[in-house]
Each structure stands twice: as structure tokens, then as C-alpha cells.
Amino acid sequence: MEKTAEYTSTRAALTLAALGVVYGDIGTSPLYAVKETFNPAHGIPLTPETVLGGLSAIFWALMIVVSLKYVILIMRADNKGEGGIMALLALASAAVKDRPRLRATILLLGVLGAALFYGDAVLTPAISVLSAVEGLEVGTTAFTPYVVPISLGVVIGLFALQRQGSSVIGALFGPVMILWFGAIAALGLAAILKHPEVLRALDPTHALRFTTQHGFASFIVLGAVLLAFTGAEALYADMGHFGKAPIRLAWFGLVFPALMLNYFGQGALLIADPGALENPFFLLAPEWVRYPLVALATVAAVIASQATISGTYSLTRQAIQLDYLPRLNVRQTSAKQIGQIYLPGANWLLLLVIVAVIAGFGSSTALASAYGVAVTGTMLVTTILTFFLLRHGWGYPLWACVGATGFFVIVDAAFFSSSLMKVADGGWFPLAMGALVFIVMTTWRHGRVLATAAQRRLAIPLGSFVRALAANPPHRVAGTAVFMAGDPDSVPNAMMHNLKHNKVLHERVVFLTVATRDVPWVPAAERVEVTPLGQGFYRLNVRFGFMDRPDVTASLDLCKAQGLEFDLMQTTFFLSRATVVPATGPGEPGGMAEWRESLFATMARNARTAADYYNIPANCVIELGTKIAI
């Protein structure tokens, strides 16, 4: 009985937390989704019938894309409980590891989806905060000149607080979002009770007519309807933090009903007063409650932004671990929650771009045109990767895989194609940003492959090297030397330089290789593997998951159980500090273009040091330089 009560209490707490983190983005979509769906610029007249059609399209889009696709299907594709596009990429690529060409295609698709997510990470804070602050304009133009400055102030304040972590503020997110969903549900219900005929929009035939009977305008308007389910990717990305059950319970128990009540309430208002299209969300509220609602909406927008920012940190750390980005400074902001991290470089770069976007676009309407491309692009990639996982990872029959994902591919492709129609009106921005991030990630990945290949061409096999030293040993000194080795079967450059210049070896020599597995977490029992090589030499393999914090110092304590004990006071770590330079002249076959070689070299020079990234005590490290041409 006590266990049942404890389980119920834990699930309730996780559900409350999921409301604050997972549903911030999609929960603030009513601020702008209805207004943009019925925007006169689309060319569809605002009549009671088109209002019913637009509401029906929003309802069935949420039902198909969020409820069926993400909550029921995609959340089944978890990587040991962890979700998100990088986790799915790891699963899908591992499923086809014996098919190199297909694996390369899947990796490119996954990186493209991740790159588009960064565009979403920029646009979500911008459009959420702007649309919330624009509530000040309802009924008066006095606040119009201050909307952008206030929005900039809110965003700058939010990013300035990131270094403190979200452990304290996060506890408030859930209750605030309960208040938010309760408020928008009550506002919508009041309007529906006045005009209950709006409930006819539940009939899918209204959505079908709305999206087919207005010619090209019906196709264009899909790019506005998709604004209702922005943030759906967060359900999957944050699955590892809260679990499937709390996310599903929060969606079906509160979020989905509250959203639909508000959307239908806005529709009822537009049927009664088409002039309310100016800002149907805030005009839904009585005049006396509008300014408090603006304040609540701003807080909800900040929470939506926080969820996206935290997701960006998590995605960036996963990309670093999977070797798609150079090592960056990752700070742990909580001693209890490993997922709470802060990346200073990513934080300030993200803020700089968001400030430019808010100042450049100036309104949520202008941003709406740019928003959909990033969201639907990532969703389409997620669906395609799920197909490969179902077919090659789980072994389902082809007909079942096509049946499970084919319909969603068609839906995602339709929304994505519609959003591309707005490229000239702002859709170019997430595409350009995604292309830039894609180039950076693929350049780093390919450059690392080339650099590793260049080192291996000059490397000496570890086995023969140890045997040669045993036959003709140099002078041995007391202590333990740990040499970081990218390839566990080759002699590290630092080892060769040490012998060349110092002409001595320590009593114990450990060749340490750190590897990242295609799983989120590696248990302590599988973290280290010690292999004695004889003559005081050891090979040490340390494994981390892409969500683990890579801590070599802590991992050394696990070696004691395998007969290798470390005393840090008697241990020296030798690291190769490789300086990567572009190859002179035309690139070799299989190399990169000269500009990409220069880009990779620049990133390599500015990457965080291995000692710092792997938490190796600085006073125990000796770095020996080498130069690599790619």
C-alpha cells in the first residue's frame, strides 16, 4: 500500500514538472496560432464556415501530429528511456551499422534535423515573448513603441539568469503552467457557452473543406495551422527527464483539453465579432483581466523559452559527445539533476541571435512566417528516422513500417511544403541558420575523421611497441603515467614525444581511451575495462553515454575493482595537444575543400581542452604538442 502511494506521489510530481517544462512551448501557441490561421493575407474570407474549418484543422492537426504521432508512436522509440532527435539518430544509425551507405544517409538526415532544431530554439523565445507582450496593444496604441524594447528586456533578463541553473525556478514552472492552462480553459469555455455552435468544428469534414476548397490559399494556410503544434518535439526530447506516463497523463488530462477549449473559445469570439481578429486571444478576456493576463502570458512565454533553451543545451551536449561539435564549456548547475547544465558559449550566442531576430522582425506576425519551417523540418526528419528504426532496428515487416509512418510522412511533408511558401517572408531565416549549423556539424565530424586517419597513418601498433620496450627497456621512474589515446590499438603521440625528449618511462603506464556509446547512459559496472599488457603497461577503456557527464577522474576509482588503483598524487596525465592546420595546395582525395579545412582548424584551436572537458586535475597534466595537416 505504501509503495502504491509512493508511486502515485512520484508520478504526480513528475506530471506537474512535465507541465512546466515540456508543455511551455505548445501551451503558449494560442497566443498567435488562431490569429495567424485566419490572417486576411492568406486570402480566405473570415466567415462562420471558415472559422469552423480553421478550428477543425487545428483540432485534427493536434490530434494527428501530437496525440497519435508523438504521444502514442514516436515516444515508443526511446534510447534506454532517453528521447530527442539525437537519441533517435543514435538508435537508427546503430540499426543499419552494417550498411554504410544507408547509415551515412541517416546520419546526414539526423544532423539536418538537429540543425533545424537550433532555428526553432531561436524563434520560440522570440515569438512567444513578443506575442505575450503584444497584449499591451489591445485597446490602445500607447504601448506599441514599447513592445520590442520590453520583449528584449525580458529575453536578456532570462538569458542572464541561465548561469544560476533552473533547479529553483523549475519548481515554480509546474504550478504557473497549471494556472495558465486553467485560465485559458476558463476563458475559452465562457465563450463556447455563449456560442456552442462552434463545437461543430469537431467534425473533420470542416477541416477537409477548409484545406481543399480555397485553392492555393488552402495550401498556404497550413503554414499557419502548424503554429498550433509547435513544441511537439519537446514531448519526445524531454521524455528521459520525466518518463512516458507523466507526459502522456499531462497531455490528455489537462493540456490538450485546455488548448482546445481556448482555441474553440477564440473561434466563438470570431464568429460573434470578426473584428476581434486583431488579437483574439486577449480580446477573449474581459477588459479588467487583460493586463493581469498579459503578465501571466509573459511568464508562460518565459517558461516556454526556458524549455527550449534547456533543450538546446542538452542537444548541444549530445552533439559534442557524439563528436558532431567541438568540446565546449559545460557547467553542471545542480548536484542532484545531471540534466541541468549551462553552456556559456551557446547561451550568449543564442541570446545574440534572438535579440537580432526580435529587433529585425519586430512582431509575432512577421515571425510566424519564419517559425514553421524549422518546426516541420525537424518533425519530418523524426518521422523518417522512426521508419528506419522500426524496419531495421525492431525488425517489423515493411508493410507495417510504411503503415505506421507513411501517413505521418505525408502529413509532415504537407505542412513542411506549405511553410516553404513563406521563405521570402521570413522562412529563409531558419533555413539559413539550419544550413549554417549543418555545415559546422558536418565539417567538424568529417574533419575529425580525417584527423584521426592522418594520425593512424603515422601511428605505431601498441602491441609491437610494448614488446619492443620489453626487449630494450628505457629507464623507469616511480609513479603512474596515463597517456590519452584516441585509438586503443595505437601508440599515442604524447607517448612518443615523451620518450623522445625525456627518455624515461614510469613504473606503470596506462593507455587511456575514452569512447562515447550510442546510448544515453552507461552504468558504472560497464564504465571501465582494464587490460594488463605486461611489463607494467595497461590498456584502460572508459565509456560514457551521450547524456553522461564525462568525468575521467571519477571513473578511475572504478578501476580498483579490476586490479588497477590510482593515487592522483603519484599520477601524471600526458595529453597530445594537436594543432590542426589546413593542407597546403589542393586537398587530397577524400579531404575537404580548403575553406572547410580552415573552418575545422579554427574550431579545433578554440575547442575546450581535453583535460578540462574530461575533468582531469590541471596540476596533474602535461601537454605535448603535435601538428596535423588534413
- pLDDT tens for 93-134 read 888 888 888 998 998 998 998 898 888 888 888 888 898 888
* For range 77-100, the mean pLDDT: 83
Determine, yes or no, domain membership for 452.
no
pLDDT attached to residue 241: 67
C-alpha cell at 481: 603515467
Confidence of residue 571 (pLDDT cuts 50, 70, 90): very high
pLDDT attached to residue 585: 52
Beta bridge partners of 79: 82
Given a cut of 80, whether residue 6 has pLDDT beyond it is no
CA–chain centroid gap for 596, Å, is: 25
Confidence of residue 243 (pLDDT cuts 50, 70, 90): confident
pLDDT attached to residue 444: 93
Of 420, 447, 474, which marks where a domain is finished? 447
Residue 30 vs residue 90, higher pLDDT? 30
Q: Note whether 403 and 495 are same-domain residues.
A: no
Q: Note whether 588 and 441 are same-domain residues.
A: no
Determine, yes or no, domain membership for 511.
yes
pLDDT attached to residue 251: 94
* For range 500-518, the mean pLDDT: 88
Give every CB contact of residue 524 below 8 A, 6+ residues apart in sequence: 558
C-alpha cell at 345: 558559449
C-alpha cell at 514: 575514452
**CATH code of the domain covering residue 146:** 1.20.1740.10
Average pLDDT of the residues of the chain: 85
Q: Note whether 378 and 502 are same-domain residues.
A: no
Q: Note whether 424 and 479 are same-domain residues.
A: no
Q: Note whether 130 and 220 are same-domain residues.
A: yes
Q: Note whether 259 and 331 are same-domain residues.
A: yes
Given a cut of 70, whether residue 480 has pLDDT beyond it is yes
Determine, yes or no, domain membership for 453.
no
Give every CB contact of residue 218 below 8 A, 6+ residues apart in sequence: 44, 210, 211, 212
- Answer whether 215's CB lies under 8 Å from 42's CB: no
Determine, yes or no, domain membership for 78.
yes
Q: Is 22 exposed, middle or buried (0-12, 13-18, 19+ CB in 10 A)?
A: buried
Which helix (H) or strand (E) element contains residue 504? Answer: strand 504-516
* For range 292-302, the mean pLDDT: 88
* For range 241-253, the mean pLDDT: 86
Residue type present at position 357: V
Given a cut of 70, whether residue 9 has pLDDT beyond it is no
DSSP H helical ranges for 551-593: 552-556
C-alpha cell at 44: 480566405
Determine, yes or no, domain membership for 393.
yes
* For range 380-384, the mean pLDDT: 92
Domain count for the chain = 2
pLDDT attached to residue 587: 46
Confidence of residue 136 (pLDDT cuts 50, 70, 90): confident
Of 415, 447, 479, which marks where a domain is finished? 447
Determine, yes or no, domain membership for 139.
yes
* For range 238-257, the mean pLDDT: 86
Q: Note whether 380 and 499 are same-domain residues.
A: no
Determine, yes or no, domain membership for 454.
no
Widest pairwise Cα distance in the chain: 94
pLDDT attached to residue 59: 97
Q: Note whether 390 and 529 are same-domain residues.
A: no
Angle value at C-alpha 163, between 158 and 164, nearest 5 degrees: 90
Q: Note whether 514 and 387 are same-domain residues.
A: no
Given a cut of 70, whether residue 410 has pLDDT beyond it is yes
Which helix (H) or strand (E) element contains residue 268? Answer: helix 256-272
Determine, yes or no, domain membership for 141.
yes
Given a cut of 90, whether residue 530 has pLDDT beyond it is yes
3-state secondary structure of 516: strand
Q: Note whether 509 and 390 are same-domain residues.
A: no
- Answer whether 34's CB lies under 8 Å from 211's CB: no
* For range 42-47, the mean pLDDT: 89
Q: Note whether 436 and 486 are same-domain residues.
A: no
C-alpha cell at 508: 606503470
Reported as a single tens digit per residue, the pLDDT across 339-368 is 567 788 888 999 999 999 999 988 888 888
Domain of residue 517, residue span = 459-629
Beta bridge partners of 504: 475
Q: Note whether 423 and 519 are same-domain residues.
A: no
pLDDT attached to residue 318: 82
Given a cut of 70, whether residue 172 has pLDDT beyond it is no
Given a cut of 60, whether residue 183 has pLDDT beyond it is yes
Of 447, 481, 514, which marks where a domain is finished? 447
